[in-house]
Amino acid sequence: MSKTKFIFVTGGVSSSLGKGIISSSLAKLLQSRGFSVTIQKFDPYINIDPGTLNPYEHGECYVTEDGAETDLDLGHYERFLNVSTSQSNNVTTGRVYKTVIEKERKGEFLGKTVQVIPHVTNEIKRRIKLLSHNDKYDFILTEIGGTVGDIESLPYIESVRQLRWELGRENTLLIHLTLVPFLSAAGELKTKPTQHSVKKLMESGLNADILVCRTEHELTKEIKQKLALFCNVDVESVIQSIDASTIYEVPILMKNEKLDEVVLNKLNIKTYNKTDLKKWEVFVNRLKFPEKKINIGLIGKYVELQDSYKSILESLIHAGSENKTKVEVISIHSEFIDANQINKEISNLDGILVAPGFGERGIEGKIEAIKCARENNIPFLGICLGMQMAVIEFSRNILKLKKANSTEMNKSTPDPVISLMENQKNITDKGGTMRLGAWECKIDKDSLAYQIYNAEVIYERHRHRWELNEIYKNKLNKHGLKTSGINPKTKLVEIIEYPKNDWFIGVQFHPEYKSTVECPHPLFVSFVKACLVYKKRINNGREQD
C-alpha cells in the first residue's frame, strides 16, 4: 500500500464505551491481514500526561518503552498488537498547548494573535500526522478521547474535519462509537441517543462513515436500517458491538460483523490477505475453557477500582491462558490487613502479589502480607513498591532492623533500606521525573530469575523514584536475600529473590507493561505455574491429614 490511511475513532452518547478496545480490535484485524498498523490517542485534558493523576481519577498510568507516562488505552494497543508504542502515541491538550505557548515565547508567531484556530488545530494536526513519516504504517488509527459534544474535544473534532479535507476522503475514515440502550420498561432498543450524537458530529462538519453500536441485545435488521437512514450511513456500515464476556473476544466479534471488510471497502483497498486469527482464537479458547483454577491475592490500596491495576490483571489473564488456568484475583485492601486477618485469608490463596504504589497508606498491610508469604512458602511476586516492601520486611524480621523503612515513608528512619538516589534528591518537579521506561538488567545465572527469563540481559520498564540502598546489599545477601538482577551501569538492584522459598521474587520494574496476548510475560507465566504447584502440594498435604 502506498499511502498511509488515517482512521479516526470518536465516541458519542456516553463515556466508557470502549473506544480503546474497538480501535485495538480493528487494528488487530487489519494487522492479521498483513498490514502495518499503529494506534494513537488524543486526550482532551490539560495535564501534560496522566503521570500526575491519581489512579482513582484515571486508572493505571501505562509506561512505554521510551519512558512516556500514558493513558491505559496504550496498554490495550500493545497487548492486542504486540508492537511497542511511544511518546508520540499519546498526546494531551496540555502537551499541545505547551508546544504552542513555547513557540509563542520564542517569537515563532511574531506579530500574530495566537488562537485555537489555526494555531492549536495546526499543532494537533501536526501531531496526528507525526507517525506517518516514512510511510511506516499502512493504517494509523487515531482515537479521540472524551465524548462528541464535550467543550474540550472541539479543537480535536475541528482538526479531524480539516485533515479529512486536506488528506482527501479516500485516505481517511471516521468511525463513531455509540450506545444503543435497551429500555426494559419499553422492551426496546433505542436509536435516538445515537441520532443525536451523529447530529452533534454533523454540526462540526463531520460525517461518520461507520457506526459501531454498543448494545446489550442483538440489533435487528430494522434497527440497523433505522440507524443507517437517520445517521447517513450504509446499512452494512452499522456494526453491532454486543457485550462480550472478555475484551479479547471483541476482535472475533468484529470479524464476524465484518468491520475490517467495511473499512477496506470504504477506503477502496482491493488487495488484501484473509484474516488470520488462529493464534488469537487458541488464546481465547483457553481463556474461556480453563482446565484448572487458582486464587491469587492482589494486595494494593487502589483495589476498589479495577482500572488501577489494569496491566497486572491483564498479565495474569495472559499467563492464566498460557497455563490453561483460570486465575481468580482476590483483591485485598492493604490498608485493612493485619497479621490475624492475612493468616486467615491465606487458606484461600495460592499466591500473593503485592502491587506497586506511592505513599505511606497501606504499607504496613503489605509488609504483613509479605511476611505471611515468606514464612509459609507461598508463591510471592512483589512489583516495584511490592519489591521495596519485601526488602523492608526482610530487614525488619530477619536482619532485626526493627525500624527499617523507605525514606519515602519515613525520612528519618535509622535504617533507610530503600532510599533516594543522589540524582533524585534535588528534583522538585513531580511530572515526568521518575526513573522511567526501559532499563537494562543483568541476571545472575545462578538464580530463579535466570531460569524464568532464560536470558542474561533483559530490558524492563520502570516507574519509580526510590531504590534499594546499596549500603544494605551485602547484609541482605548474607542473610539469604539474593539480589539476582542488577543494572550493569548504575549497579542498582532490579530483582530480589529468596531462594529458601520455592518462588519468592520482587522486581523493581513493572513486568506487567510488557505482557501481550502473543507473548505472555515469563514472570507471570512462571508465577501462575508456581501457584499451581503450591496448590497441588497444599491439597495433597490436606488429603494426607
In the complex, the residues that contact ligand GLN under the rule CB under 6 A are 356-358, 384-385, 408, 463-466
List the beta strands (DSSP E) in 117-248: 139-144, 172-179, 182-183, 188-189, 210-215, 238-242
Cα 323 to chain centroid, rounded: 22
In the set 119, 512, 521, 531, the catalytic residue is 512
The three grid cell numbers given for residue 140, joined into one nine-digit string: 494509523
DSSP string, 404-453: -EETTT-TT-S-EEEEE-HHHHT----TT-SEEEEEEEEEPSSSHHHHHH
Distance CA 44, CA 90 (A): 11
User: Which residues, in sequence order, are CB contacts of 38 under 8 Å at separation 6+?
Assistant: 27, 77, 81, 83, 85, 89, 131, 137, 139, 140, 141
Shortest CB 357 distance to ligand GLN, Å? 5
Task: Identify which of residues 251 and 356 has a Cβ nearer to ligand GLN in the complex.
Answer: 356
196 in active site: no
Q: Which of 384, 408, 464, 497 is catalytic?
A: 384
Q: How far apart are CA 150 and CA 44, in angstroms?
A: 9
CB of 270 to ligand GLN, least distance (A): 48
**Minimum CB separation from ligand GLN for residue 435, in Å?**
8
Q: How far is the CB of 301 from ligand GLN (least distance, A)?
A: 11
Minimum gap (Å) between residue 268 Cβ and ligand GLN: 47
Nearest residue (CB) to ligand GLN, 350 versus 467:
467
Residue 176 or 463 with smaller CB distance to ligand GLN = 463
Q: Which is nearer to ligand GLN, 69 or 350 (CB)?
A: 69
Name the residue nearer to ligand GLN (CB basis): 385 or 481: 385
Q: How far is the CB of 449 from ligand GLN (least distance, A)?
A: 19
Catalytic status, residue 519:
no
- Measured in whole angstroms, the distance separating CA 228 from the mean position of its chain's CA atoms is 34
Alpha carbon 349 to chain centroid distance?
Answer: 25
For the chain, how many residues are written? 545
**Quick one: 371 or 463, whose CB is closer to ligand GLN?**
463
- For residues 368, 369, 373, 379, the Cα torsion angle rounded to the nearest 10 degrees is -150
Contact 383, 352 (CB under 8 A): no
What is the distance between the alpha carbons of residues 115 and 11, in angstroms, rounded to a whole number?
26
Identified catalytic residue from 58, 119, 464, 510: 510
What count of Cα atoms within 13 Å lies in the side-chain half-sphere of residue 530? 24
Whether 38 contacts 264, CB under 8 Å: no
Note whether 24 and 81 are within 8 A (CB): yes
Complex with ligand GLN: residue 264 or 486, whichever CB lies closer: 486
| Shortest CB 385 distance to ligand GLN, Å | 3
Asked whether 349 and 312 are in contact (CB, 8 A), the reply is: no
Provide the Cα torsion 217, 220, 226, 227; round to 10°.
40
For residues 175 and 511, what is the distance between their CA atoms, to the nearest angstrom?
Answer: 33
**Cis (ω within 30 of 0) for the bond into 416?**
no
> Rounded to an integer, what distance in angstroms lies between the CA atom of residue 144 and that of residue 63?
20
Beta-strand relationship, 380-383 and 405-406: unpaired
| Strands (DSSP E) found in 320-375 | 325-333, 351-354
Least Å from the CB of residue 511 to ligand GLN: 12
Least spacing, CB of residue 294 vs ligand GLN, in Å: 24
Rounded to 5°, the CA angle 98-103-107 comes to 145
Closest CB to ligand GLN among residues 18, 506? 506
512 assigned to active site? yes
Query: Whose Cβ is closer to ligand GLN: residue 97's or residue 358's?
Result: 358
Catalytic residue ranges: 384, 510, 512
